[in-house]
């Protein structure tokens, strides 16, 4: 986030929307401007397909707020089909 001084919030809110044939497959994480990674969602064998629309809260106060924040999404199983529909951090 450009122009934000100081550290990121202790309770940074990250909204994530993913559509996938098996929602337990994708693993998501947030990467701060300083390269530090914050886990959001682990894989799960109990989640069926559809749309995941969830807001995660993460303590990102160890990282600077200013800079480019990235979302990492990894499908841990081959042949999975999915789409990152939207994501946004709230500072």
Query: What CATH number does residue 42 fall under?
Result: 2.60.120.260
Paired tokens of 31: 């990467």
Given this model, what pLDDT does residue 58 score? 97
| Residue 1 pLDDT | 66
Structural domain containing residue 66: 12-90
Q: How much is the pLDDT for 89?
A: 96
Tell me whether residue 1 is in a domain: no
Q: How many domains does the chain have?
A: 1
Residue 3 lies in a domain: no
Q: Check whether 2 has a pLDDT greater than 80.
A: no
Task: Say how far apart CA 24 and CA 27 lie, in whole Å.
Answer: 8
Residue 42 lies in a domain: yes
Q: Tell me which of 11 and 50 has the higher pLDDT.
A: 11
Contact 28, 89 (CB under 8 A): no
pLDDT in tens, 20-76: 988 889 999 999 999 999 999 999 888 888 899 999 999 999 999 999 999 999 988
Q: How are beta strands 82-90 and 70-75 bridged, if at all?
A: unpaired
In DSSP notation, 52-85 reads EEEEEEE--TTSBSSS--EEEEEE-STT--EEEE
> Cα separation of 70 and 72, whole Å?
6
């Amino acid at each position: 986030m450009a122009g934000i001084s100081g550290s990121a919030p202790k309770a940074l809110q990250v909204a994530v929307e993913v559509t996938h044939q098996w929602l337990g497959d994708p693993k998501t994480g947030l990467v701060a401007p300083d390269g530090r990674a914050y886990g959001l969602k682990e894989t799960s064998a109990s989640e069926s397909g559809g749309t995941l629309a969830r807001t995660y809260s993460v303590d990102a106060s160890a990282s600077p707020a200013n800079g480019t924040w990235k979302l990492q999404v990894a499908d841990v199983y081959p042949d999975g089909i999915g789409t990152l529909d939207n994501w946004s951090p709230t500072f």
